[in-house]
Amino acid sequence: MAAFLYRMGRLAFRRRWTVALVWAAVLAAVGLAGMTAPEAEEEPFSMPGIESQEAFDLMEERFPGAAADGATARVVFVSPNGEKVTATENKEAVEAAIAELGDGTQVASTVDPYESGAVSEDGSTAYTTVTYKVDAAGLTDASRSHLEESLEHARDSGLTVEAGGDAMEDMGGPSGTAEAIGVSVAAVVLLITFGSLAAAGLPLLTALIGVGISLFAITALAGPLGLADTTSTVAIMLGLAVGIDYALFIVSRYREERAKGRTAQEAVALATGTAGSAVVFAGLTVVIALAGLSVVGIPMLTEMGLGAAGAVVVGVLIALTLVPAFLGFWPNAILTRKDRKARRAGGTPRETRKVNGGTRWASFVLRRPLPVLLAAVAGLGALALPMTDLQLGMPGDEAKSTETTQRRAYDALAEGFGPGFNGPLTVVVDAKDADDPKAAAETVSERIGGTEGVVSVSPAQFNESGDTAVFSVVPTTAPTGQETKDLVNTIRGDRPGIESEAGATFEVTGTTAMNIDVSEKVQSALVPYLLVVVGLAVILLLVVFRSILIPLKAAAGFLLSVLASLGAVVVVFQQGHGADLLGVETTGPIMSLMPIFLVGIVFGLAMDYEVFLVSRMREAYVHGEQPAQAVTSGFRHSARVVVAAALIMIAVFSGFIGDSDAMIKMIGFGLASAVLLDAFVVRMAIVPAVLALLGERAWWLPKWLDRILPRVDVEGEALTRPADPEAEPAEKNLART
């Protein structure tokens, strides 16, 4: 591996113009394909293998056109000062507002609350549903403006008027603010780390090129493959992350080799052969973690994982080819000011084994490995404890800020009609084989209506064939409450008896049931996913480090950090401790996809840090250093790089905490805390402490396994030879430029 990458780096250095032009051509080609590709149609959320999805599919089959994707806005009217919305003046204001709402060019229909019975028992609240001819993404700015203006005109009458529904969602694309913050912070961190504008700018430049290629490729494929917008969002986030990390690692090693007096070409080749090997295996662990999301069986997660994995592959290829080529264009500009000054004076800088922050920290841990290990594990364990109280769900309008009209509409409906009104269940009765379909549907409706925890059941609506009925069930409790989940399980548990009595089958669906089913599916898939991803990564690290204990230690450390970060998410977003500091106004269940999403992304980044840090220790150990000395060497060369990479990632993810959407806040906080804990507690404290306690045993590998495992030479043993004499003339020529 190291010898092959050594030759690749040297070739990229010598043929730098060819390499640069090839990548420019690739960027231009995918850019043209992406810009000319037809706009992708938005695919509906799908979750195969769960009852609520099967019921929804049955509705689409038996009620063609009824389950259309038209956007809706539920407008709520609340009378002022204890008045009733049925009072003459208020009723006229409501009807005028409904008439104005119905005048929109894209509006399909509106419902009169006084005719449909959409008035609360105390007469304080009424609501209407505005249905549009197009989905939320197809609403024009004029339609959205008309909706907002109609609401304002209704408020002028003295009524409190709020609106929810997907027509009220902001359909604008991502602003790019978080990415801009991440790039800005990355530039500052890289400048501090390298002390050179060129050295700081090169990783950013190559990372942006990789992100551009990945983004255009996903855009071009979005139409044919039906990819969602989230696919490109995650690809950009991770492509930027690993692109900077991998280029940072190779540039750092290049400067180190130049400080030893090597020529530019030889330094590039050695950096690609050694640091490049670590980049390859770090990238493989990320790809395994992301591609492994397909194990869960959720199409959206599969698309996100594969799209991001493709971006990581592009980042690895650019780090191994374009970074060496750019180093060929600016071989001395990347160096430190001291080294550039020495070269201008005709001297050759010598490698110095100076004591830096990394060596001082490593020495501290090596002197006190057991206390450091116990403190780190105890701290992570304490943070992970709230995980035992984890409740999964899909927060809706109730999780939005009270400053939004969607949240105020949610609260008004809950107060006027009961908390369960915002999350009704939908029951689909398949009476195709029943002797009397209407009697069968009525039996199912009566039995479910008599279940404890049900407020009301709507009249059944039949399809044209008369063999399928649909009705709504309003629970007494909120959509995200545990009692509502218990009610769904009770209804399904009573199914055999109800179906036997009715002579027809039924299924429960709706947004609330869908969220419950998704949460259960994700929870059941989490352990298999961990086994697959962690198992493959352990095997890969076994090949890289040729050790039994180090891969196991890496996996255990990752599990500690991810559990601790999930515990921190529970503490803030579910239990509410410190929520005000992050602008979280309402606590509730954790987003269903959060745990598996967090595991997939953080596992890849955590293994990046593991490979970067421990590969230098392994290299020092293989080249003759004692175990403790090898740990210190690894920290001297890699600690600064790992810290810089972690700070960049934390900044990128923290940018999402300022978002107004509670779910985006949750994702940003979870990822930022996970990287913080993994990089600074696990990799910087637990790793050296464990290696210090294990000593020689850390690198033990049974002889029979040593014979079986392939040798990939990540440490660059094949490269410990004098510099290539052919590189000398090239270096002299470059030094003059």
Mean pLDDT for 692-713 is: 85
Residue 133 has pLDDT above 70, yes or no: yes
Looking at the chain, the whole-number percentage of residues with pLDDT higher than 90 is 20
Q: Lowest-confidence range among 7-16, 24-33, 223-232, 277-286?
A: 223-232
Structural tokens at position 166: 């997907």
Position 376 scores a pLDDT of 94
Alpha-carbon span 181 to 210, nearest angstrom: 18
Residues near 291 by beta carbon (within 8 Å), at least 6 away in sequence: 305, 306, 309
| DSSP count for the chain of H helices, then E strands | 26, 11
Position 27 scores a pLDDT of 94
Question: How many of the other CB atoms lie within 10 Å of CB of 17?
Answer: 11
Position 388 scores a pLDDT of 85
Segment (H or E) for 705: helix 703-708
Mean pLDDT for 541-545 is: 84
Of 172-176, 509-513, 602-606, 709-713, where does the model show the most confidence? Answer: 509-513
Residues near 34 by beta carbon (within 8 Å), at least 6 away in sequence: 215, 216, 217, 218, 219, 220
- Check residues 185 and 316 and name the one with the higher pLDDT: 316
Of 343-347, 534-538, 685-689, where does the model show the most confidence? Answer: 685-689
Nearest to 692 by CA among 639, 632, 641: 632
Position 354 scores a pLDDT of 63
Chain centroid to Cα 168, Å, comes to 24
Structural tokens at position 225: 């493959």
Position 160 scores a pLDDT of 92
Residues 519/394, Cβ–Cβ less than 8 Å: yes
Alpha-carbon span 542 to 544, nearest angstrom: 6
Pairing of strands 72-78, 125-132: antiparallel
Query: Which amino acid belongs to residue 126?
Result: A
Query: Which amino acid belongs to residue 361?
Result: W
Task: Give the torsion sign (CA, 434, 435, 441, 444).
Answer: negative
What digits encode the pLDDT tens for the residues 309-340? 899 999 999 999 999 999 999 888 877 667 66
Rg for the chain (alpha carbons), in Å?
A: 30
Position 173 scores a pLDDT of 44
Position 371 scores a pLDDT of 94
Position 582 scores a pLDDT of 75
What digits encode the pLDDT tens for the residues 414-437? 888 888 888 889 899 998 888 898
Nearest to 163 by CA among 134, 128, 135, 111: 128
What digits encode the pLDDT tens for the residues 648-688? 778 777 777 776 666 677 878 888 898 899 889 998 999 99
CA distances from 465 to 443, 458, 540, 542 (A): 19, 20, 58, 62
Residue 346 has φ and ψ, to the nearest 5°, of 90, 0
- Check residues 652 and 370 and name the one with the higher pLDDT: 370
Query: Which amino acid belongs to residue 35?
Result: M
Order across the sheet with 160-164: list the strands: 107-109, 125-132, 72-78, 160-164
Q: DSSP state, 126? A: E
Position 66 scores a pLDDT of 55
- Check residues 706 and 369 and name the one with the higher pLDDT: 369
Position 406 scores a pLDDT of 86
Res. 140 pLDDT band, cuts 50 70 90: confident
Residue 721 has pLDDT above 60, yes or no: no
Residues 15/730, Cβ–Cβ less than 8 Å: no
Position 174 scores a pLDDT of 47
Chain centroid to Cα 636, Å, comes to 32
Q: What's the mean pLDDT when you consider all of the chain?
A: 82
Alpha helices in 546-660 (DSSP H): 549-569, 594-622, 627-654
SS (H, E, C) 340-378: HHHHHCCCCCCCCCCCCHHHHHHHHHHHCHHHHHHHHHH
Q: What is the DSSP string of 660-677?
A: SSHHHHHHHHHHHHHHHH
